[in-house]
C-alpha cells in the first residue's frame, strides 16, 4: 500500500510582498528564519526606498516590479515563482512585521496532513489588541465579501495565508491590489476548495499603524469599487 506523501520543509515557500519596507524587511526575514523556514521570496512591488537592496542583503530570493502594481500583483508574481521552484505549500505574509512567523506552523499543518487546500489566518477569531475601528472595518468588509462572493469568513482581508499547490494552481484572480485577498475568497467558493480559518496574533506597532494606505476609508472604497467592477466586467 502506497503511503501519502507529505510536503517537506524544502517544499514550503514563504512569500513576502513588500512596498517601501526597507526599514523592517531584514528583521522580518530574520524572524522567519528563526522560526525554521529558509525558503523565502521577497517581491518588491516597485518600492521607492531600498526595500530590494535590504532584502537581497539577507541572501533571500528577491523579485522586483519596476512599477508599483499592487499587493495582489506582487503576491501572484511570488506564487508563480514558488510553483516554478517546486513548492507544495505556499505561505503569504505581510512585509511590515505585523505577522508572527511562529504562526506559520499552524497555517501549514492542516495542508501538510491533507485536511485543507487553503488556511486563512484570522485576526478576528481572537481580536485581542486589535484597534476597535479596524475590527469594525474588517467586519463590514466580511459582510460585503459574503454579499458579493457568496462565502462568509471571519477575516476576508487577512494577508497571512497558506495554500496547497492544488489551490495555487486553480485560484485565478483578476485583481492586482488590496482587493486580491478578498477575491481569493470567491475562488475558494467557486472551486469548492477545502478551507479552514485559524486565529493569528497581529503585532500593531507605530510603524505598521503608520502605513495609512492600508487603513484609509478612501482606500477601502476604492477596493470595494474594484471588487464590484471586476464582478460585473
Q: What is the 3-state secondary structure (H, E, C) of the chain?
A: CCCCCCCCHHHEEEEEEECCCCCCHHHHHHHHHHCCCCCEEEEEECCCCCHHHHHHCCCCEEEEECCCCCHHHHHHHHHHHHHHCCCCEEEECCCCCCECHHHHHHHHHHHHCCCCCEEEEECCCCCCCCCHHHHHHHHHHHHHHHHHHCCCCCCCCCCCEEEEHHHHHHCCCCCCCCHHHHHHHHHHHHCCCCEEEEECCECCCHHHHCCHHHCCHHHHHHHHHHHHHHHHC
The neighbouring-strand residues paired with 91 are 14, 162
Residues 191, 148, 75, 163: is their CA dihedral positive or negative? negative
Written as nine digits, the cell of 45 is 512591488
pLDDT at 172 > cutoff 80: yes
Instruction: Among 3.90.1150.10, 3.90.650.10, 3.90.550.10, 2.40.110.10, name the CATH number for the domain at 10-232.
Output: 3.90.550.10
220: confidence class by pLDDT, cuts 50, 70, 90: low
Least confident of 21-35, 70-84, 130-144, 214-228: 214-228
Q: Please give the share of the chain, as a percent, with pLDDT higher than 70.
A: 86
The neighbouring-strand residues paired with 42 are 16, 62
205: confidence class by pLDDT, cuts 50, 70, 90: confident
Q: What is the mean pLDDT of residues 166-171?
A: 98
Residue 129 confidence (pLDDT): 84
Rounded CA-CA distance 87/13 in Å is 6
Residue 2 confidence (pLDDT): 37
Domain extents in the chain = 10-232
Average pLDDT, the chain: 89
pLDDT at 188 > cutoff 70: yes
Task: Give pTM, 2 decimals.
Answer: 0.88
Residues 15 and 55 sit within 8 Å (Cβ to Cβ): no
pLDDT at 4 > cutoff 50: no
Q: Please give the share of the chain, as a percent, with pLDDT higher than 90.
A: 76
Q: What is the mean pLDDT of residues 70-77?
A: 97
Residue 5 confidence (pLDDT): 47
Residue 62 confidence (pLDDT): 98
Residue 60 confidence (pLDDT): 98
Residue 206 confidence (pLDDT): 75
Q: What is the mean pLDDT of residues 12-39?
A: 97
Q: What is the mean pLDDT of residues 198-203?
A: 93
Least confident of 93-97, 170-174, 203-207: 203-207
pLDDT at 6 > cutoff 70: no
Residue 222 confidence (pLDDT): 56
Please give the C-alpha separations between residue 88 and each of 14, 45, 47, 112, 117, in angstroms, as whole numbers: 11, 24, 29, 9, 11
Amino acid at each position: 500500500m502506497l503511503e501519502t506523501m507529505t510536503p517537506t520543509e524544502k517544499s514550503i515557500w514563504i512569500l513576502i510582498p513588500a512596498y517601501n519596507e526597507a526599514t523592517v524587511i531584514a528583521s522580518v526575514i530574520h524572524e522567519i528564519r528563526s522560526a525554521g523556514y529558509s525558503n523565502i521570496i521577497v517581491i518588491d512591488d516597485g518600492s521607492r526606498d531600498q526595500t530590494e537592496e535590504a532584502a537581497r542583503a539577507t541572501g533571500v530570493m528577491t523579485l522586483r516590479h519596476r512599477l508599483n502594481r499592487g499587493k495582489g500583483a506582487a503576491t501572484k508574481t511570488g506564487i508563480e515563482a514558488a510553483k516554478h521552484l517546486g513548492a507544495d505549500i505556499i505561505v503569504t505574509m505581510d512585509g511590515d512585521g505585523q505577522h508572527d512567523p511562529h504562526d506559520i506552523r499552524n497555517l501549514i499543518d492542516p495542508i501538510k496532513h491533507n485536511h485543507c487546500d487553503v488556511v486563512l489566518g484570522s485576526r478576528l477569531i481572537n481580536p485581542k489588541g486589535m484597534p476597535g475601528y479596524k475590527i469594525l472595518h474588517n467586519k463590514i468588509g466580511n459582510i460585503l465579501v459574503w454579499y458579493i462572493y457568496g462565502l462568509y469568513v471571519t477575516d476576508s482581508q487577512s494577508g497571512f495565508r497558506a495554500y496547497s499547490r492544488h489551490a495555487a494552481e486553480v485560484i485565478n484572480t483578476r485583481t492586482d491590489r488590496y482587493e486580491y485577498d478578498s477575491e481569493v475568497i470567491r475562488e475558494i467558493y467557486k472551486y469548492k476548495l477545502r478551507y479552514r480559518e485559524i486565529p493569528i496574533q497581529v503585532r500593531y506597532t507605530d510603524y505598521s499603524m503608520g502605513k495609512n494606505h492600508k487603513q484609509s476609508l478612501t482606500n477601502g472604497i476604492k477596493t470595494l469599487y474594484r471588487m464590484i467592477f471586476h464582478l460585473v466586467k
